[in-house]
Each structure stands twice: as structure tokens, then as C-alpha cells.
Structure 1
């Protein structure tokens, strides 16, 4: 019997010039190419997924500060999965092994259950569908609360987008966001929601496309502009004109942008993390902030759905 790779069962998809491999652990986009060109930073099937690369984040994206929150009048404590900053990072689904419940040449639907546990005592069924088409790779995530009590919920993806040759510094970013969430420099704890051109526009304001350069970003944006279809689109392009774009509707009112800075130069700034989110960082503590953090409360038996799409700029 063949050994399952470290990233889980591999689901290869193809449609036209697009190819993708979805790994079952964390319902992860392990690779995505267009005409042989990487659109995301890939990793090997038998590699432990680095830096949440391509994972599905649930039942919260981003961080819960100190892993502590109060919901329904009860204080909860989550495991601290970001030890360096002492936060609970990126939810509980990223290391679940999702089961395929439907599969074809250009699509796969995966499902897993977040079981009641210390810190998050609710049962949530998570179903996610990946589908390749002429407009790229679309992922849809649906959560259903199978508990007897309301549950806090949020989701989002974690791809590192690749525009083409070079590194993040060389690429052009178009990010139609008017507001950025200020955070503390050491632990990235949210403080204030401010205009992107208020204090450091050269670092945060990409409403007009421009080269990213050497700026370091690990921040959530809101105030997202949308087109006539209600979509927000982020575009990342290389000097050659090739690129990649990511679009989503108003299910995600936030997006985290991270320039993927690492201590090791060979691993640093290989891709730009673009993470649409249904809620802000630390949304489980929404009452602590004077802006709408977007926390979803899933009533018993209720469902919540969000989707996004990654496509090539050819």
C-alpha cells in the first residue's frame, strides 16, 4: 500500500491552460499554474506545508490575541499556535485531513469536521469546493453549525501569489483598499483602522498600481472598492506584463497582505500573501474594537458561505 504524502491525498485538476493540485491536509492549494507558469508559491507533496501556504483557514483567519476571547458571556482560551507572538493563529482546520466527497477532472469538493474542543466547543462541518475553469481557480467554503448553541465563525485562504520572474520587491501591486488596520510592531495586535494615506502612504497605499519595492507589510485592509459585479480584485504584475489576480465578493470585507519577509534570504519575499477574510484579525474579540470586525455568528443549523478566485494575467 502506497504511503500517503505528508500533505495528504493529492487531487490534480486541469482545465485548459490551468492546472492545480489540492492537498487534503488543510484543503490546501499546493500548486496552481497557467501555461506552466506558477501563480502561487508551490511546495512538494511530501513536504510539511510551510507557513500555512495555500491552506484553508477556519473557524477564524489571522490571529486571536493571546488566544483569549469571550463569547456568549463565557471566556475561552485557545491553544497558542503562534508561540513567538503568543497568539492563536489561523484557526483549527489547517491540519485537518479533508475527505473528498465529489471529484471530477476540473473540480474537487472536500469536507472535514471541526469537533468541539477546549477553547472552541462547537461542531462545525466545513465543505470546500475547488473548481478550475477558463477564469481560473475558484474556491468556495461553506460552514454549517451542528451544535446546539451559536458559534463564532470566520474563514479565508492563505495563498502566496506569484506574478512572474523576480521577487515581491520587483512586482507591481494594485490594491483597491482605502483603510489599513494599524497594529503593534512586535505582536501585530490591532489598534486602529486608519486611512491608507494617513501616516505611511508609501507603505500602505496601493490604490494606484505601483511597484512594491522594499516595504514590509503584514496588515489587514478594509474599505474595499468593488466593481459593478460587487467584486474586489487585487492584481500583482511583473515587469514582463505577466501576473496574477485574486477576486472576491462582499462575503470578505477584509484582506490581509503580507510581503512574506523571512530571516533566511533564500526563502524571503518569494510570493505576496493575499488573504481575503470574512472578518478582521482578532474578530473573536470584536467588542474590544470601535470598528466593525465582521465576526459571523452561526446559529444552530445555519450555514455561511464565502468564495474567491485566483486567475492569471496573461
Structure 2
């Protein structure tokens, strides 16, 4: 452990959490990687493992309207001219406490012209026999209501076989159709009869996905589960609560020479892409109010 990252361990699980972006850099079970890791001390490719806030996914052209006022945040995805994944991935989070199996990190989102709202966010990570538990709490410490959304950004690894051979189960009845060039929302469509219907576990094959899903089926305990399995018998899962009514799934398709389809991004989201404009499931944080979201990654 250094001042830049925090090692956690419980039983057969171990994790490394970085101060930059509150990212899960490594997560292992019996020394098997459950997520695509990234090297220490260097850049973090593709936002691996970070906490994404105060908006998940994209705002086209960085422009949005909230309470009748127009705002502009920086575009950081120039190829699609979008503001991507909020501010928190680039922040250095402060350690508030840690034990052998848990750590709490915090960061402050200070008012800026494009987002003149003040938030305090904490990320609590805890390992136990059920995997890595995460709780994100955002509190509005400012004097005006703030738009807000959050998601994780880990790329799951089912096992050593290629992603095309993994079996995927996604408990979602609807997906969000997007434009092919900028991946901007068009309309929702049922998964019935579509290649994105993974309600019954099946092999991913050559299917390319970079879409949000909704109409998610939660169990009696208020949890939903995505499960990935390797043909050799290994597996990994991600569970989340009703605070996240949306789920982004991405097969991590890349153009050569960038390594292709290294893992499956599974991102429970409180709101869909461009929610700052559409208002769909957007969290409105009033002054003094807080919002919690939880999820868990586990070996299957």
C-alpha cells in the first residue's frame, strides 16, 4: 500500500483501490482477476474501475439545461464531441478511514461555471465473503438544487477464455437505441427478439454492445444481478440495488492496435445517457439532501 492506493483483503478476496478516481485497480478471488486491472502509477485506460459522477455516460456537446438555466461543461471525448463521465475520475480522493478489509474515500465537487453546485461524495469499499461491496453517498453541501447521477466503471473478467466465449445473463427487458456515430440516445426498444436479449444466459459470441438497458428485474431482496461465466467453469457477477434503474453494458470493442474485447464493462447507472437534458431518472439533490447507491462484485 502507498499513499496513492489502498490494499484490502478478506479471506480469498483481495483488492487495490486508488486515490485517483476512487478506482478499483485490482480485484481478485483466489488470485484470479475478476476485473481487467491497470498498472500502478500510470494512466488508467478507459476509466477502468473509477467512480463516475456527477453524471454517468455522455452529455452531447457538453451542453445541458437545469432549472431553466443553460450550462456548458468541458468536452473530454473529442471524437464524439461529448462530456464523458463527470468530474470524479480525475479527482484525487482523500482517505477517511481504513481497516484490513475496508476503506472509505471522499472527494469534493466544487462549483464551476458549467456545474455551479457543491457536492461531497464518499466511496465506501468493503470486502467480505460475498465479494467487494461499494456504497457511494453524495451530499449536496451547497445552497441550490443539483443534478446528479453516478455509476461504477469496472470491466468484468469471467475467466481465461476470450470474451466471445463467455456466457452472459442480463435481467433487463428494454435497451436504449443510440446513434451509431456519437452513441447518443434515440429511443427505448424491447429486447424481445433482439440480439441484446440476454435475459436467459447465453454465449456473447460476436455481438457488439455499448448500450444502456432498463426495465430491470430486481429480486425479492431488491437486488439485480449480471452474471458472466467462462466455458471452463469460472465466473463473475455484479449485483446492485434499486437506486440504479439503468445498466450500461459494453463489450469493449477497439480498433487495432488497441487490445480488443478485454473485458465486459458492466455499469449500474442511476440515470441513462444525457439525463442532464432529458431529465429521465435524473437525481435532483436538494440542499442538505443525500443519495446512496450500492453494488457488489463477486466470484461466481
TM class by shorter-chain length? over 0.9
- 1:10 Cα shift? 1.0
| Partner of residue 110 from structure 1, selected from 95, 105, 121 | 105
Matches within 5 A, 1:224-243: 224-243=216-235
- 1:114 Cα shift? 0.6
- Figure out how many residues of one structure are paired with residues of the other and give that number: 300
Deviations along 1:181-231, one digit per CA (max 9) or x if unpaired, are 000000011010110125xx12x1000100001111000000101111011
| Partner of residue 47 from structure 2, selected from 27, 48, 52 | 52
Once structures 1 and 2 are overlaid, which stretch shifts more, 252-261 or 43-52? Answer: 43-52
Aligned Cα RMSD in Å? 1.3
Which position in structure 2 is the counterpart of 1:19? 14
Specify the SS of the correspondent of 1:119. Answer: coil
> Is residue 86 of structure 2 the alignment partner of residue 76 of structure 1?
no
> Is residue 288 of structure 2 the alignment partner of residue 301 of structure 1?
yes
Which position in structure 1 is the counterpart of 2:253? 261
- 1:266 Cα shift? 5.8
- 1:264 Cα shift? 2.4
- 1:265 Cα shift? 5.5
Which position in structure 2 is the counterpart of 1:126? 121
Instruction: Name the CA distance, whole Å, in 1 between partners of 2:256 and 2:113.
Output: 35
Normalised to the residue count of structure 2, the TM-score between the two structures is 0.98
> Is residue 183 of structure 2 the alignment partner of residue 188 of structure 1?
yes
> Is residue 90 of structure 2 the alignment partner of residue 90 of structure 1?
no
- Structure 2 residue runs of 5 or longer lacking an equivalent are none
Deviations along 1:74-108, one digit per CA (max 9) or x if unpaired, are 00011001110000000011010001001000000
- 1:118 Cα shift? 2.1
| Partner of residue 216 from structure 1, selected from 208, 224, 228 | 208
Instruction: Name the CA distance, whole Å, in 1 between partners of 2:59 and 2:258.
Output: 30
- 1:65 Cα shift? 1.6
> Is residue 155 of structure 2 the alignment partner of residue 168 of structure 1?
no
Instruction: Name the CA distance, whole Å, in 2 between partners of 1:264 and 1:19.
Output: 32
- Structure 1 residue runs of 5 or longer lacking an equivalent are 288-292
Which position in structure 2 is the counterpart of 1:248? 240
- 1:168 Cα shift? 1.4
Instruction: Name the CA distance, whole Å, in 2 between partners of 1:107 and 1:155.
Output: 21
> Is residue 86 of structure 2 the alignment partner of residue 99 of structure 1?
no
- 1:112 Cα shift? 0.6
Specify the SS of the correspondent of 1:261. Answer: coil
